[in-house]
Structure formats: structure tokens, C-alpha cells
């Protein structure tokens, strides 16, 4: 059975277009709803004031944090109210902190996911237990990875490894290796994005280790979770956004974090596409209202016959 969506069945975020910009963000991760709303509002205002088109938004996890359901619902509401006015598709994956409530209390509630599956502008896994979902964007296939959980509360992942009910987790290494092999066979450029890095990046995913080597069809990977400037949890390379994938020349980029409590600044990126390929990644600080870094994405040649 094929794990990937057939090319002609992929939902397209930007139909008929091959150039534009995606706002990629993660790790809002503030427990006080009023502060989360303020930080996200500042980021939205900063991005919209640029006057550049934003054609899609990708939220790479840890939008929420903590086990206070009422606070989680308020932050989820803020995300909806602040992002939807941009009027573009919003892709969302869960991070480890979306699992806080379930892990600590056993209550399987995920307020932003519950909003995302119901709202027309939002894109996420059809079911909470799916380890990835795919969309087309400017001609590239995008595979989004995040933490996932059994809707009935039997198991979940966190930090992209088995946590609750590990003996019931259904996706063994063979599934991830099959996914890698199928990605190698697609006839279009692939981008992967998620809450976690492949090995070689900061705070990498154990599950994605079974996807190595990342196939040549993949142009880049972006991840959150390893907040830039976090000297406690990201001490090895705290300020490095451009990271290798273990044993490969392909690069992966740390795009986090929006939060302003654990690290200085409030950061996200604008991913630019031209001619159906990702071409540049610009890192923005929404508190300083300035660009911090820029990475040219030197896409390798498209394999012959594709
Ligand atoms: Fe995280």
C-alpha cells in the first residue's frame, strides 16, 4: 500500500502558481494567553507591514504549551483570530507541547488541532494519529511531520518518539523506511517541514532517523523545537540556523522561535519560491522589525527524466 498521496490527488495550497512566499513559524509556546496573543499579533503586524505577499502560512508546532485546558483553548482561539485574516492556507502540525495536557493528565484534548480540522483555511492531518500529511505548494510537494496521538488516548508521541503506550504505537521503522523510499520515487520537488530536525540538526527526531538518507528529491527541511538562542536545551549550536543532515550535503534549517520568554527576540522565516522551487529563506525578528539572516537555497539539479 502506498504511503504517499498520488500526485494528481494532492491538495494544492497555491493552484496554478510557481512563485510566491510562505511564512513559516513555530514555537509560540507561551502559557499566558494574553502574552501569546500579544506576541503573535506583533509578528502578524510585522509581517503584513512588510508589504510583501504572503501566500501561505506553515505553523511547525508548539503553538500551545501546558496543561491548563482553558488557557490552551484561549491561545488556540488567538491563533485562529490572528492568522485567518491573512486569508491564506494555514498548515499546522503538533509539537511536544501540544501533548502536555494529554501526557500529564490523560485527557486527549488538542485545542488548536480541533480547530484546524474544522476550519476551511487550515490544513493538518485528517486524523490525529497520522504521522504526516502532504500538500502541494508552488509546484513542490510538502511533507509535514509532527507529533501524533491515538484519538482514544491509547498512545502518543512526544519529542517525536513513543511516549504514552509505546507498545501500542503502530508506526515501526519499516513504515518510515518505506516513506523514505516513496519520497525518493516522486517526480516533483519535495520539501519536508516539521517540528523536529533530522539527525545532524539540533534536538533531532528519533523517528526521522529511519528516513535517512534523505532522498535526492528533497530540496530542504525546516524545523522548530530547538529555539535559537536557547542555551539550556539547544546548547550545542544555539545560534546556528543552517545545519547539515547527518552524512549528507543537504541542509536543514532551524526556523524557531516566536516565543519571547525562553529566548531573546521573536523569530520566524519567509520562504521564497520561484519557478516551482524554494529559492531563499529570510529570517525575521518581529521585535526588532528587521531581517537577521538570509539563506540562498541552491537547489541541486532536477534528476534526469523527472
Ligand atoms: Fe518543541
Tell me: the pLDDT tens digits for 16-53? 999 999 999 999 999 999 999 999 999 999 999 999 99
* Cell numbers linked to 70: 482553558
Pairing, β 290-296 against β 277-285:
antiparallel
122 CA to centre of ligand 1 in angstroms? 21
7 CA to centre of ligand 1 in angstroms? 31
Distance CA 32, CA 173 (A): 38
From the CA atom positions of the chain, what is the Rg in Å? 18
Evaluate the CA torsion angle 280, 44, 37, 289 in order and state its sign: positive
* Cell numbers linked to 288: 526588532
Q: What's this model's pTM, rounded to 2 decimal places?
A: 0.96
Please check whether residue 196 is in contact with residue 160, taking contact to mean a CB–CB distance below 8 angstroms.
yes
pLDDT digit string, tens, across residues 44-94: 999 999 999 999 999 999 999 999 999 999 999 999 999 999 999 999 999
Distance CA 294, CA 284 (A): 9
* Cell numbers linked to 145: 511531520
Helix (H, G, I), strand (E, B) or coil at 305: coil
Please check whether residue 266 is in contact with residue 258, taking contact to mean a CB–CB distance below 8 angstroms.
yes
Q: What is the pLDDT of residue 304?
A: 40
Residues 6+ apart with CB under 8 A from 53: 20, 21
Whether 134 shows a pLDDT value over 90: the answer reads: yes
201 CA to centre of ligand 1 in angstroms? 14
- In the chain, the largest separation of any two C-alpha atoms, in whole Å, equals 53
Whether 306 shows a pLDDT value over 50: the answer reads: no
In this prediction, residues 112-128 reach a mean pLDDT of 98
Band of residue 1 on the pLDDT scale cut at 50, 70, 90: confident
Put residue 16 in one of left, alpha, beta given phi > 0 → left and psi -120 to 50 → alpha.
left
Look over the chain and give the mean of its residue pLDDT values, rounded to a whole number: 96
Distance CA 95, CA 160 (A): 8
Between the CA atoms of 136, 36, 295 and 57, what dihedral angle is there, to the nearest 10 degrees? 20
Let me know if 89 is exposed, middle or buried by CB neighbors in 10 A (0-12, 13-18, 19+): buried
60 CA to centre of ligand 1 in angstroms? 9
Whether 301 shows a pLDDT value over 80: the answer reads: no
187 CA to centre of ligand 1 in angstroms? 32
* Cell numbers linked to 200: 545532524
Smallest Cα–Cα separation from 295: which of 260, 258, 254, 265? 254
Smallest Cα–Cα separation from 160: which of 232, 95, 256? 95
30 CA to centre of ligand 1 in angstroms? 12
User: What DSSP designation does 60 have?
Assistant: -
Helix axes 33-49, 69-83, angle to 10 degrees: 10
Q: How far is CA 21 from CA 42, 69, 159, 201, in A?
A: 19, 34, 29, 24
10 CA to centre of ligand 1 in angstroms? 28
261 CA to centre of ligand 1 in angstroms? 14
In this prediction, residues 103-108 reach a mean pLDDT of 94
CATH 3.60.21.10 describes domain 20-296: yes
Please check whether residue 189 is in contact with residue 219, taking contact to mean a CB–CB distance below 8 angstroms.
yes
Helix (H, G, I), strand (E, B) or coil at 211: helix
Q: What is the pLDDT of residue 298?
A: 74
Amino acid at each position: 500500500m502506498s504511503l504517499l498521496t498520488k500526485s494528481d490527488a494532492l491538495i494544492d495550497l497555491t493552484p496554478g502558481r510557481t512563485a510566491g512566499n510562505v511564512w513559516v513559524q513555530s514555537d509560540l509556546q507561551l502559557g499566558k494567553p494574553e502574552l501569546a496573543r500579544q506576541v503573535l499579533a506583533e509578528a502578524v503586524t510585522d509581517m503584513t507591514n512588510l508589504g510583501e505577499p504572503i501566500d501561505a502560512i506553515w505553523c511547525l508546532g508548539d503553538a500551545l504549551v501546558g496543561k491548563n485546558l482553558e488557557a490552551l483553548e484561549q491561545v488556540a482561539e488567538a491563533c485562529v483570530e490572528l492568522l485567518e485574516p491573512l486569508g491564506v492556507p494555514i498548515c499546522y502540525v503538533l509539537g511536544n507541547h501540544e501533548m502536555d495536557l494529554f501526557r500529564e493528565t490523560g485527557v486527549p484534548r488538542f485545542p488548536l488541532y480541533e480547530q484546524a480540522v474544522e476550519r476551511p483555511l487550515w490544513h493538518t492531518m485528517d486524523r490525529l494519529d497520522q504521522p504526516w500529511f502532504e500538500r502541494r505548494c508552488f509546484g513542490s510537494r510538502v511533507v509535514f511531520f509532527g507529533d501524533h496521538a491515538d484519538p482514544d488516548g491509547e498512545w502518543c508521541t512526544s519529542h517525536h518518539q513513543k511516549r504514552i503506550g509505546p507498545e501500542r504505537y503502530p508506526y515501526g521503522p519499516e513504515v518510515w523506511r518505506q516513506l523514505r523510499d516513496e519520497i525518493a520515487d516522486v517526480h516533483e520537488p519535495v520539501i519536508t517541514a516539521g517540528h523536529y530536525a533530522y539527525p545532524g540538526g539540533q534536538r533531532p527526531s528519533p523517528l526521522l532517523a529511519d528516513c535517512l538518507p534523505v532522498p535526492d528529491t528533497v530540496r530542504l527541511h525546516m524545523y522548530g523545537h530547538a529555539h535559537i538562542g536557547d542555551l539550556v536545551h539547544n546548547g550545542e549550536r544555539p545560534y546556528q540556523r543552517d545545519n547539515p543532515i547527518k552524512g549528507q550535503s543537504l541542509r536543514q534549517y532551524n526556523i524557531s522561535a516566536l516565543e519571547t520568554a525562553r529566548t531573546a527576540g521573536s523569530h520566524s522565516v519567509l520562504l521564497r519560491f520561484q519557478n516551482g522551487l524554494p529559492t531563499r529563506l529570510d529570517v525575521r525578528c518581529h521585535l526588532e522589525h528587521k531581517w537577521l539572516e538570509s539563506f540562498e537555497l541552491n537547489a541541486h539539479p532536477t534528476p534526469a527524466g523527472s
